[in-house]
Amino acid sequence: MRTGLVLKYIGVVLLIDAAFMLLSAGISWLHGMDSGFTPLFLSSLLTAILGMFPILFVRRKEQINAKEGYCIVTGAWLLSCFVGTFPYLLYGGEFNLINAWFESVSGFTTTGSTILTDIEALPDGLLFWRSATHWIGGIGVVMFALAILPSLGKTKMTLYSVELSTLAKDNYRFQTKKIVYILLFIYMGMTAMVLVLLRMAGMDWFDAVNHAFSAISTGGFSTKNTSIAYFDNVWIEVILLVFTFISGLHFGLIYSTLTGSRNNLFRSEVARYYFLCTAAGVVIITLSLWLSGTYDSLASAIRYGLFQSITVLTTTGFATADTTLWTPLTTAILFFFTLQCACAGSTTGGIKCDRILLSFKVLRNRIRQQQHPNAVMRIKLDGVTQEESTINFAMLYIAVYFLFVILGTLINAACGVDFITALTASATCMGNVGPGFGEVGSMASFAAIPGVMKISSTALMLFGRLEIFGLIQFFMIKWWV
């Protein structure tokens, strides 16, 4: 493997990180040179040096192979999380080494969990950097690099193939170069729309930018200690739930729908399942909250039940209510949403609707096969016949996903937390969701949990964001043939 070539492309990603750090320092400067300026400016310089070093010394433009592609993508994610700790460590406060790593990983993986007990005490520059890590990580650190790099031929195709899962690529029926620009067009366009609408709904420009970054990346970092509950504004909640729900859809299908293509959201069975699953969950949660007396009126039950359902299903993690006080039935539905999440090809994490729907079809085919042993049955998803290898890999992914959740639960329980906290913290980190239940509920943070649990939680975040096998293969790279 050509290590220098791998580091060269990772260097481009680090330069993008440095640019956003510098932009964050600019925000600090505009807000009266607050205490975040120096940490952000120095971090930007250091990250830029780390990024420029391999670019200057590796001048050859060569095609990369699959092995090098995996190293570039995974290495870019890990090093972005690493340099992302620089501003936090230089700032100090609540950020020791473990806490800085947790906040950085949670940001880039768009998990949205935090170790902060007083978010509003942070200077504006650091608040902007937290949200920026969401926005970079939502579309993918490598996708940003692919958009600004010149034509790379097979290199761009290799990096794109590693970054996107097989199920996500099924609905991108364009050339690789066009796919990258489609992603950025939809991503940046929706961010701009949310920004303007939130400003019109009553947020100031700074809060609107930060929450737009978090909403479209389905991250969940807020500038307020009580998240969206701080604003107590129905219009803000409506804007956020609409756009976070849209962000849970396949971006390729969103583009196809806007351009009038036949391959659109209205013809997608995965999108239909996503809508129906959401509707069913919202109705059950709303009725449970209303009939149990958790909320006095049906309107309040709809308002809070709808928002929390969407924010968990889309892995955004914003909060308008303390869900730890809700009924056991609502907890069960939200936990299912935490495991499943939204669609492949979106900015969300979790198992994803596509694999859940595919597993239902595999189960149905298995039952039919027992009834008709000689029949040849094909499984289709959104009109695409699924290869046996794709089906087997999807089923393996679900099995390994649950294995990681169980392993995380055991580690958390060994750290001394209660079972509900241990289980939901593991599931929410693996799915990049944000809030769990118990000590890590929607109105709580990960500040008080043990250091070992914080480290294991960040490992789950990375495994979830890189869809498990990308990170596993990175650590087993020397055994590749």
DSSP per residue, 301-332: HHHHHHHHHHHHHTT----SS-GGGS-HHHHH
Tokens of 213: 């970054």
Q: Confirm whether pTM is higher than 0.95.
A: no
Cα–Cα distance, 395 to 67 (Å, whole number): 24
Give me the half-sphere count of Cα atoms (radius 13 Å) on the Cβ side of residue 335.
19
Predicted confidence at residue 398, as pLDDT, reads 95
Residue 275 CB contacts under 8 Å (≥ 6 apart), including other chains: none
Q: Are 298 and 274 in contact (CB under 8 A)?
A: no
SS3 label, residue 466? coil
Predicted confidence at residue 62, as pLDDT, reads 64
Q: Are 87 and 129 in contact (CB under 8 A)?
A: yes
Q: Residue 214's closest CA among 317, 345, 337, 87?
A: 317
Residue 196's Cα: distance from chain center in Å?
23
Which residues, in sequence order, are bridge partners of residue 2? none
| Most distant pair of Cα atoms in the chain: their distance | 75
Predicted confidence at residue 9, as pLDDT, reads 83
Q: Residue 24's closest CA among 95, 91, 105, 99?
A: 91
Which residues, in sequence order, are bridge partners of residue 149? none
Tokens of 383: 């009109």
Predicted confidence at residue 472, as pLDDT, reads 80
Residue 371: exposed, middle, or buried by beta-carbon count in 10 A (0-12, 13-18, 19+)?
Answer: exposed
Predicted confidence at residue 387, as pLDDT, reads 84
Residue ranges of the chain whose pLDDT lies below 50: 151-153, 155-156, 160, 166, 172
Q: Could you tell me the end-to-end alpha-carbon distance of the chain, in angstroms, rounded to an integer?
A: 11
Predicted confidence at residue 186, as pLDDT, reads 87
Cα–Cα distance, 169 to 166 (Å, whole number): 5
Predicted confidence at residue 151, as pLDDT, reads 47
For 36, which DSSP code?
T
Residue 443: exposed, middle, or buried by beta-carbon count in 10 A (0-12, 13-18, 19+)?
Answer: middle
Cα–Cα distance, 57 to 70 (Å, whole number): 22
Cα–Cα distance, 401 to 22 (Å, whole number): 37
SS3 label, residue 384? strand
SS3 label, residue 474? helix
- Residue holding tokens 């060269």? 8
Predicted confidence at residue 440, as pLDDT, reads 95
Tens-digit pLDDT profile for residues 69-123: 778 888 889 999 999 999 999 999 999 999 999 999 999 999 999 999 999 999 9
Handedness of CA 283, 289, 295, 297 (dihedral sign): positive
Predicted confidence at residue 106, as pLDDT, reads 97
For 386, which DSSP code?
P
Predicted confidence at residue 89, as pLDDT, reads 97
Tokens of 438: 């118990």
